Structure 1
Amino acid sequence: MADNSENLLVNGSFEQALVNQGSWQNFSSVAGWTALPGGQIEIWRGGGGVVPTDGAQSLELDYLGGLDGFSQTVATTAGQSYTLSFDSMLRPGGWSPGTQ
């Protein structure tokens, strides 16, 4: 975030793609985010033992067992300091090849 604590991310809590409670849905893109080529953005609303820190939805990176990624371009200013933070967890009972 910039010094004035302005959130520069668009749709940082993945709330702008409404998913029904207790279910999930996949998207190739949602407001502010784009899946990497060949991937999907899998958004959950409840279920899976996940309780988001902010909002009601979360993103999962294994659509149909694949390894996925997503991106967002954020405008920054040279010489300005920014902080990027996010929550990450392994789905209960799941496996993880690691995070990069």
Structure 2
Amino acid sequence: MKLKSTLLAVALAMAAHAGATELITNGSFEAGTIVPNHSDAGSQQLLSGDSSTLAGWTVIGGSDIAWIGLGNPYSLNASDGNNFLDLTGWHDNNSTGAGVKQTIATTAGATYVLSFDIGNSINYNYGINDSLFVTAGSVVGQQVWTTVNNQASSWEHVTMTFVASGATTDVSFGGGKAVWYIGLDNVSVTAVPEPSSALMLGAGLLGMGAWLRRRRG
């Protein structure tokens, strides 16, 4: 019985790993080189409609965002790699910021796992939780809030699932409530493996376990 349970667990883990192909391009905003276009070192202002600066992403909304990397003067750090986004951009102070969008290939009716990191800073939000809005398939305009608000640079990992409605899905993040800063980094989308894949792999491993037991006997 112990061998059977172990093999089934291994089968499920292997199936999950096999289905974990990354669908997001440049999820940590590392591709490319930040070219400061203001007096803030290590930071670049990206205007709405820009679809070439951030590989895979288009800037959306009526304002701008900030692409921030090493050498920035804000005492802010990325959660993954060197770069991250500030969705309040240069036009903030309690207004709704801009955002980014990426179109990925999906299968209608399939379930996907979306994860990302949302950032906050006591230096720029003064102990207030900030938020952003997420849209992806069946998830439409969901507001996600930070819970940590007492650190100079904090990141919180968020995971949710969505169901795709077509052959492509727009994954978008928009600035929500903040004073001066809404961090975004480490975006990922992977498909949830079909149950049949895990069951078939599990059956194969269980059959192997039975064969091993017969040999030992």
Give yes or no for TM over 0.5: yes
1:97 deviates by 5.7
Inter-partner Cα distance in structure 2 for 1:62 and 1:83:
26
- What secondary structure, in the 3-state scheme, does the structure 2 residue paired with 1:32 have? coil
* 1:94 counterpart = 2:124: yes
In structure 1, what residue type is equivalent to 2:69? R
- What secondary structure, in the 3-state scheme, does the structure 1 residue paired with 2:90 have? helix
Alignment root-mean-square deviation, CA: 2.3
* Higher Cα Rg, which structure: 2
1:30-83 C-alpha deviation (Å, 9 max, x unpaired) = 211111143323111133333323211000011112411111111111232211
Inter-partner Cα distance in structure 1 for 2:122 and 2:56:
28
Structure having the larger proportion of residues in helix: 2
Inter-partner Cα distance in structure 1 for 2:130 and 2:30:
27
Structure 2 gap ranges (5+) = 1-16, 36-40, 134-217
The two structures have a TM-score, normalised by structure 1, of 0.78
Deviating more after overlay: 10-19 vs 47-56: 47-56
Aligned match of 2:62: 38
Asked if the contact 1:49/1:92 (under 8 Å) is kept, the reply is: no
Aligned match of 1:59: 85
Inter-partner Cα distance in structure 1 for 2:112 and 2:20:
9
Inter-partner Cα distance in structure 1 for 2:114 and 2:87:
19
Aligned match of 1:72: 102
Structure 1 gap ranges (5+) = none
- What secondary structure, in the 3-state scheme, does the structure 2 residue paired with 1:43 have? strand
1:85 deviates by 0.5
